[in-house]
A and B are shown apart, each in its own frame.
Chain A
Amino acid sequence: MTEEILEILQRDARLAPGEIASMLGRKPEEVRREIRRLEREGVILKYKAVVNREPLGGAARGVRALIEVKTAPQKDVGFDRVAERIYLFPEVKSCVLLSGGYDLLLTVEGSDIQGIADFVAQKLAPMEHVRGTVTHFLLKKYKEDGDILVRGKGKDRRLAVTP
């Protein structure tokens, strides 16, 4: 049941426990209890909207960049200390440690290109243990977290009534 609840909520977080219960043939109380447990144990962190700012146009769209960061790991704490110093900036929307040619990959959000350039030049690059950065500005988002963003809601192309 746990896996099914997670899958259903990841697709539509607004479904009420009672409704999920009726999809799984369970009692609403059972599902409510399981969701509470998952929340308590930090499996479900929060419920957010998936937003596509593209149709808003202009400044409201904002600017995003992926930034590769090369760091010098520190004794005993490895990458964790330097990662923490970076991800605590609110401009950093995501921060992951990767294998390969660089260490951290950040998603950084700003209201315009200048804002992100300033963040890199003034905050990120000069930081101790940061060896170098490469900034890629996002031009267009096609798909995020399993959701395709570039076309409207899929229209039902089936005939209205078929045998």
Chain B
Amino acid sequence: MRIPIAKRVQQIPPSGIRLFFDLVIGMDDVISLGVGEPDFDTPWHIRETGIFSLEQGLTSYTSNKGLRELRAAISDFLKNRRGLRYDPDEEILVTVGVSEAVDVAMRAILDGGERFLVPQPCFVSYAPMATLAGGEPVCIPLPASSGFRLTPALLRGAVARRARGIIINYPSNPTGVSYRARELGALAAVIRRTDLAVLSDEIYDELTYDFDHVPFPALPGMRERTVYLNGFSKAYAMTGWRIGYAAGPRHLIDAMTKIHQYTIMCAPTTGQVAACEALRSGGKDVREMKREYARRREYVHGRLVRMGLDCARPDGAFYIFPCIRSSGLDSMGFSRRLLEEEKVAVVPGTAFGEVGEGFVRISYASSHENLKEALDRIERFLRRARAAPARH
């Protein structure tokens, strides 16, 4: 007999990233600009703290919500560096990356069939997680003409659809778009007139280059309805440790903890100990990595523009999202041919929603040497594609 798969799972389309990954995996010598994680190793003092904890035998479970010491450190960090006040005992949950936090938050607020707003292009998991939680993801297409930015007008149009919640992510994967205080204030003003719950994924907040990042719960009236999501993966180059956290009103964190305790028990202990060290003395590492990303952003943006590719200068994260229509190719065709002919991997914009058609995501979490070589190859490829267009 063959066990039937739940309809909810069947209806989720395969990940566009996965399709492309399968193409890349069979090839040698590919320069990949398709990687959504830092190219730095976790700073040594953080790794060393993790190793030491293993030597000391710290290998058992922690409390469900996470090590008290880590929650206290997160609470202090949020107070001192973000101007947010969250009680370490009642209002903070340590999770297995932000991904788990998004999952349990959605499951905590969706009952079945409610709409959940997902502005696109966005991180690949949001819509499938809303589906898995029993909700109905409703895409808000962010037009390229608005620079893929969520505007009050777009938001007003979407809230008319009576959704239960919305997920926002800034700085954004895949576009690098972020928002200044004034823009966020205008979005909050629209949300204030609704019953929307807000999940705010701010995992790239430390990588904001031109202005100060403003956390969503800091906006008037937003704290009580927002689950603030952050973690250690991007700022401290700790993706593999899988440590994120959610901060929010007590009753929401209670509900999320209920799900978390039955499904996960607790986030990995070694990672939690290492995360304490990251908050204790990782500030300098964050600043150094940020400076390096900022240089790469300038370099990559400048070169793409000189190649004649339209692209906004990203506000944050380590992604840039150029329009590749001038090549005469669509996103998948461009990415596939670039890979086959020049061995450079980028991710087709359509992996992040249909609205990403005509764009590709380039990650500049790669050494200057690699970026230079890859951009040389892209330039060569573009000359060829433009000379002999329309070979889809």
Contacts and interface: CB of A to CB of B under 8 A. Distances in A.
Interface stretch (A21-29, A33-41, A113-121, A125-133): A21-29
Interface in B103-142: 123-125
Contacts of B303: 22
Contacts of A25: 298, 302
Interface in A107-163: 154, 156, 158-163
Contacts of A15: 368
Nearest to B347: A161
B302 A163 contact: no
Interface size class of A (residues with CB under 8 A): 10 to 19
Interface in A4-60: 4, 8, 12, 15, 19, 22-25
Interface residues of B, number: 30
A22 B37 contact: no
B345 A162 contact: no
Nearest to A156: B39
Interface string B271-309: 000000000000000000001000110110011000000
B298 A24 contact: yes
B32 interface: yes
Given A161-B24, A163-B15, A23 B36 contact: no
Given A161-B34, A162-B36, A163-B17, A23 B24 contact: no
Given A12-B368, A23-B368, A162 B37 contact: yes
A144 to B, nearest CB: 17
B35 A161 contact: yes
B124 A163 contact: yes
A161 B34 CA distance: 5
Contacts of A22: 298-299, 302-303
B25 A160 contact: yes
Given A15-B368, A19-B372, A154-B41, 10 more contacts: A22-B302, A25-B298, A158-B35, A158-B37, A159-B21, A160-B24, A161-B34, A162-B17, A163-B125, A163-B351
The 10 closest A-B pairs by CB, nearest first: A161-B34, A23-B295, A161-B21, A25-B298, A162-B36, A160-B24, A163-B124, A160-B32, A23-B299, A22-B302
23 contacts: A8-B295, A15-B368, A19-B299, A22-B303, A23-B295, A23-B296, A23-B298, A24-B295, A154-B41, A156-B32, A158-B32, A158-B35, A159-B35, A160-B30, A160-B32, A160-B34, A161-B345, A161-B347, A162-B17, A162-B21, A162-B35, A163-B17, A163-B173
